[in-house]
Structure 1
Amino acid sequence: MITIIGLYGLLPIVICILFEMLGSNKVKPIVALIPIFIFISVIVYFFLPSRNVLSLIGGNWVYGALYLGLYWIISVGDLDNDKTDSALTILGIAVIILLALVGLGGALHSHMSVKPTWESISKNYSKSTEAPTFKRGETPIALAPKTVLNRVRKAASDIPNSQYYSISDNVQAQYYKRKPVYVIPIEYNGFFQMKNAEEIPGYFIIDATSQSASPKFVKKPYIYATSAYFGKDASRQLYKNLPDWLSLGKPQLEIDDKGTPYWVQTIYKSEFLSHRVNYQKLHVAVMNAQTGAVRTYSISDMPSFIDEGITSATASKINSDFGRYKYGFWNSILGKSGVIKPTGNGVEDGVTSIFNRDGSISYFTDFTTDKTGSDSAMGYSMINARTGKLTFYKASNLMDSDGAIHNADQDYKAQQWKAKMPVLYNVNGQPTWVMTIVDSTHAIRGYYYLNASDQSIYASGSTPTSALDAYRQALVNNGGYNGNTEKAKMKDISGTVDRVAIVSDKNKVMFTLKDSNTIYTVNTNDFDVANLLRQGDQVSFKASVVNGKAVGNVSSFKNKSLN
């Protein structure tokens, strides 16, 4: 950190030396340098400014100007009485102006030359039909982070000497021993509490997908925390150990399979005289929260226990750059062709962590048009939290998350409950907003499914599964997804299978029964045993039938011929 202070104060040092060696003023130049360096030290130590070359140039011309002005003031105009001192003053001003012009030029270039940044994003464009499919009993719906915080705060008495600590607002999603969990750090209540406590006693962990989960306090003391001061500040420790790197957002707490806590931060090296980020060259800094040891990894080589090497703040910036700069800077300001913007309805830095069935985590964000007042979704992205790869799903004629939340909130206006964590899924080929309903205390009250293309189709339930079943029935009742409003009737049906057709690319099995012309459809996302259906099998099920034809999915299914 001393090196950084010296680099930010390089110009004042040079000016001071020149005045000391060549000047004739009675006032020692170092008299003005001391307060300037005290000021620089305070700024660097407490605010951890960027170590980018462009930032250093900007700092030098500012501090150089402050030094020259201060030296002129304490010299009471004596600098004007000597030709050498006057020449040195003019030289100093010239250097300051030159550095200011270089800094301004670099800043403008960084801000306007954005196409290389967009091109460095690892991205893939996918069809909306390939979007994540909601599977009954398989797709986990995570607890809303505010619900998690509410439960954790009620368990704060489990913390030893709890008067010294508070619960962090940072709810970290990750897999722990292959199970989706949230890790919630503990913070110091203040400076004097930190002096009395000396260390953080541990953290909380909670099952992320169990609706009745209770938080568990894990006694794993650690020294470095984002709420600590001076040498125990996690951000300062990372800053001190990474002199050549720049950070993207604050560090996040993750734990390994032994429960050891680590602070994880996405870092990068900017180009020369530029603030631009090259997303192809992102790295990850991993700091042991107990020892302070810091190691740096490339994205492809980081430890396996890290699920979000791309932090939520980094993912938010990737989304923003992806949506704005496809056709460059001027287009993002004037023409705005192809410009889309994230809605910002995520739970952490405008993104929502999604637990995938393959044991990975993705950040979900939906995009809307740049026009004011629009609630039309232009698509949404899923960013892999380990690799940073962005997959964009294009959408048309779909409601965005702002509209989805507004629609859900209207149904709970009397109770004053609110919809949280909107995530877009495909349910039987239909784009559907899945939301969690919480009350004023952030306790879960239910789940809400809303068709993204037809807001008249919706359903709710006390559990994700019951809400899903009700929503699928709502789809059936609205004519099997094709706009037919004729009502369907549920019937208990059994018989012998006559003909079978497996439509694997649509996850469906179609079949008929002997002595019946009705074609029934069963969704294999719900009943994977239907993939084994064969002619002659004895089956029983419930189905919605309109005018003698099968519509929608079979709502329950059993193959009696299979043991």
Structure 2
Amino acid sequence: MFFLGNILLNHINLNPIYPESAFFYCVVVTAYLALYCLQRMGGFIVSRQSGAVSVNYERNGSAIPKWALIVAGICWGAYLVVSLGSTVIFNVNAYRGQMPDFREGEFNADVQLVDTTQLPVVDLEMAKKLADKKLGENPSLGSQVVLGEPTVQMVDGELVWVAPTYHSGFFKWVTNLSGSQGYVIVSATNPQDVRYVDSHRIKIQPGAYLFDDLSFYARFFGAPFTGLTDYSFELDDEGNPYWVISTYRNTWGFRLPEATGALIINAETGERRKYDLDDLPEWVDRVQPEDFIIRQIDNKGEYINGFLNFADKDKYKTSPGDIIVYNNGDCYLFTGVTSVGADESAIGFVMVDMVTKEPTIYRISGATEQSAQKSAEGKVQQFGYYASWPIIVNVNGTPSYFMTLKDDEGLLKQYAYVSVKDYLVVGVGESVPEAKVNYEKALRQNVSSDTTITETTAKTVSGTVQRIAAEYSASGTVYRFVLENRPDKLFTAAASLSEELAITREGDSIRVEYLDNGAGLCEVTGFDNLAFEQK
């Protein structure tokens, strides 16, 4: 009975307003009535003949009570009526209106200018490989634990992937009842920054046993009568591990689930608390399940002109992929939207706040994410690299896709920018700054009447180097320097831009061409060390 209860509590809640719970109650009531009727109408007789035991059922002539049939009929009838009544046929407005009306956004005002040092170059696939490699550096640890699914998040202002450790089996759990040891942090912006943190234990985890199992613990101790979904491993700004589980309710019968808040469980201590959307801790990045958001956007586009819109007038749908992005410190789900029937052009892009569910649409027509991937791959087709799923960034006022280019082993090889409005405008490079410089050159060469480029005209300045330093990462070497006559400007230059960068020192006279984004950050597009020439 304990294991039966464990299975049931892992998969359903005890509130009959949820479809899985209602179905379960119908089955339980029907089974109970069936057993009652069998007992009332007769009984089982056990007999032994020649050493063999036989069980036979003998009726006593009683009929099935009508009230039992009525009760069972009421249960199943109510379930079927609510299920049918929950469909779009009976309330198309509920399906269309679950996602609030889009706010018309202004791309340049809402999306911050790209900072090449903060672009997420590590995707989920690479995060898994890097985390596994870090775990494999400790053979004794690798035999005790396995890694869970990495989750991208902002921790104390740093964008990272975090993967918890799990017990590798029953006996490992028995010998480590205090929990598996630690988690792995992979920087989303620097593939060389991978850290194993062993100062915390993960006691509550998926696949554990008895009360340490996450889903059982959350259901039995945290929210027995509440819908739970989207289990996410997150850290607070001090590095303490938590499980953030979205709570939800159905807004139309058994359909249209809507996030209501979160159940947050301390993975070390099991301490738990339910939060509404308006009182979540500040470190919680998201509580809106991605599949909820995508389904609501699709419903809004599918039923924009009602249920019987056979001509598909004004219909739209989301792109076949989506991605989590951070802008100005907030977490958003980003996806393109295309007209129904069109698969090569986007009519705009939607960013949805993953806490408040506030949607913003940017009506920028252009290439879809898949088209941008193909364009970037075509630029390096001689190498056979494939592109990661792109994110949209603001390059000097121009909506642009950014993606990484990887080889068949999943290793980062190059980086690419593709214009949203014209996917033939591509810039690639072996470092992020180099790719951006090449992309900006391509933009200036392909300016069209409907393209808005803010402050992309290259400026020139000469001066003496006050400070200079090199930053090394897997995305390439980048030099940063300040000029004595421009102390308010921080210049950034890719090492591949000029061989003279490597020999430049404080006190050298230089001349640079650069693009100023207006925030004091300058991308160098041309570099000349005058002191070297004089020698």
Contact 1:114–1:276 (CA under 8 A) maintained in structure 2: no
Paired position in structure 1 for 2:361: 392
Identity of aligned residues (%): 20
- AA in 1 matched with 2:85: H
> Which secondary structure state, in structure 2, belongs to the residue aligned with residue 365 of structure 1?
strand
The answer on 1:450 being equivalent to 2:450 is no
Contact 1:432–1:450 (CA under 8 A) maintained in structure 2: yes
- AA in 2 matched with 1:287: I
Paired position in structure 1 for 2:136: 157
- AA in 2 matched with 1:175: M
Aligned residues: 452
Query: Could you tell me how far 1:145 is from its partner in structure 2?
Result: 1.8
Which of 422, 435, 440 is residue 472 of structure 1 equivalent to?
440
The answer on 1:440 being equivalent to 2:399 is no
The answer on 1:60 being equivalent to 2:25 is yes
For 1:377 and 1:231, the matched residues in 2 are separated by 48
Aligned ranges 1:295-374 → 2 under 5 Å? 295-331=273-309, 334-346=310-322, 352-356=323-327, 358-371=328-341, 374=343
Aligned ranges 1:394-409 → 2 under 5 Å? 394-396=363-365, 398-409=366-377
For 1:384 and 1:483, the matched residues in 2 are separated by 29
- AA in 1 matched with 2:230: K
- After TM superposition, the score normalised by the length of structure 2 is 0.74
Query: Could you tell me how far 1:182 is from its partner in structure 2?
Result: 1.9
> Which secondary structure state, in structure 2, belongs to the residue aligned with residue 440 of structure 1?
coil
Structure 2, unaligned runs of 5 or more = 44-56, 452-456, 463-487, 493-509, 516-522, 529-535
Query: Could you tell me how far 1:166 is from its partner in structure 2?
Result: 1.4
- AA in 2 matched with 1:62: V
- AA in 2 matched with 1:45: L
Spell out, residue by residue over 1:237-257, the C-alpha distance to the aligned partner (whole angstroms, 9 max, x if none).
Answer: 11122123112x331111122
CA shift in 2, pair 1:321/1:468, >3 Å: same
Query: Could you tell me how far 1:69 is from its partner in structure 2?
Result: 4.8
For 2:285 and 2:256, the matched residues in 1 are separated by 25
Query: Could you tell me how far 1:422 is from its partner in structure 2?
Result: 0.8
> Which secondary structure state, in structure 1, belongs to the residue aligned with residue 29 of structure 2?
helix
For 1:459 and 1:493, the matched residues in 2 are separated by 22
Spell out, residue by residue over 1:211-230, the C-alpha distance to the aligned partner (whole angstroms, 9 max, x if none).
Answer: 43223334311210123233
Query: Could you tell me how far 1:92 is from its partner in structure 2?
Result: 2.0
Contact 1:164–1:197 (CA under 8 A) maintained in structure 2: no
> Which secondary structure state, in structure 1, belongs to the residue aligned with residue 442 of structure 2?
helix
For 1:275 and 1:472, the matched residues in 2 are separated by 47
Contact 2:18–2:227 (CA under 8 A) maintained in structure 1: no
Spell out, residue by residue over 1:281-311, the C-alpha distance to the aligned partner (whole angstroms, 9 max, x if none).
Answer: x111111111212101111211112122334
Paired position in structure 2 for 1:285: 263
Contact 1:123–1:392 (CA under 8 A) maintained in structure 2: no
CA shift in 2, pair 1:543/1:189, >3 Å: closer
- After TM superposition, the score normalised by the length of structure 1 is 0.70
Aligned ranges 1:70-85 → 2 under 5 Å? 75=42, 81-82=61-62, 85=63
Aligned ranges 1:155-554 → 2 under 5 Å? 155-157=134-136, 161-169=141-149, 171-198=150-177, 199-240=179-220, 241-247=222-228, 249-271=229-251, 273-278=253-258, 282-331=260-309, 334-346=310-322, 352-356=323-327, 358-371=328-341, 374-396=343-365, 398-478=366-446, 480-482=447-449, 542=513
For 2:171 and 2:320, the matched residues in 1 are separated by 36
Contact 1:250–1:313 (CA under 8 A) maintained in structure 2: no
CA shift in 2, pair 1:294/1:450, >3 Å: same
> Which secondary structure state, in structure 2, belongs to the residue aligned with residue 296 of structure 1?
strand
> Which secondary structure state, in structure 1, belongs to the residue aligned with residue 437 of structure 2?
helix
> Which secondary structure state, in structure 2, belongs to the residue aligned with residue 374 of structure 1?
coil
- AA in 1 matched with 2:329: G
> Which secondary structure state, in structure 2, belongs to the residue aligned with residue 58 of structure 1?
helix
Contact 1:200–1:223 (CA under 8 A) maintained in structure 2: yes
For 2:340 and 2:73, the matched residues in 1 are separated by 38
- AA in 2 matched with 1:374: D
> Which secondary structure state, in structure 2, belongs to the residue aligned with residue 81 of structure 1?
coil
- AA in 1 matched with 2:285: D
Structure 1, unaligned runs of 5 or more = 1-36, 347-351, 485-489, 496-523, 529-538, 545-552, 559-563
CA shift in 2, pair 1:127/1:383, >3 Å: closer
- Structural RMSD (CA): 3.7
Contact 2:364–2:421 (CA under 8 A) maintained in structure 1: no
The answer on 1:51 being equivalent to 2:51 is no
Query: Could you tell me how far 1:105 is from its partner in structure 2?
Result: 1.8
Contact 2:14–2:225 (CA under 8 A) maintained in structure 1: no
CA shift in 2, pair 1:190/1:475, >3 Å: same
Contact 1:433–1:452 (CA under 8 A) maintained in structure 2: yes
Query: Could you tell me how far 1:81 is from its partner in structure 2?
Result: 1.7
> Which secondary structure state, in structure 2, belongs to the residue aligned with residue 220 of structure 1?
strand
Paired position in structure 2 for 1:3: none
Aligned ranges 1:103-118 → 2 under 5 Å? 103-112=79-88, 113=91, 115-116=93-94, 118=96
Paired position in structure 2 for 1:41: 5
Question: As a proportion of its length, which structure holds more strand?
Answer: 2
- AA in 2 matched with 1:384: D
Query: Could you tell me how far 1:526 is from its partner in structure 2?
Result: 9.7
CA shift in 2, pair 1:57/1:252, >3 Å: closer
For 2:387 and 2:276, the matched residues in 1 are separated by 38
For 2:448 and 2:430, the matched residues in 1 are separated by 24
For 2:199 and 2:352, the matched residues in 1 are separated by 33
For 1:320 and 1:454, the matched residues in 2 are separated by 26
The answer on 1:126 being equivalent to 2:107 is no
- AA in 2 matched with 1:243: P
Contact 1:235–1:250 (CA under 8 A) maintained in structure 2: no
- AA in 2 matched with 1:465: P
CA shift in 2, pair 1:52/1:208, >3 Å: farther
CA shift in 2, pair 1:492/1:65, >3 Å: closer
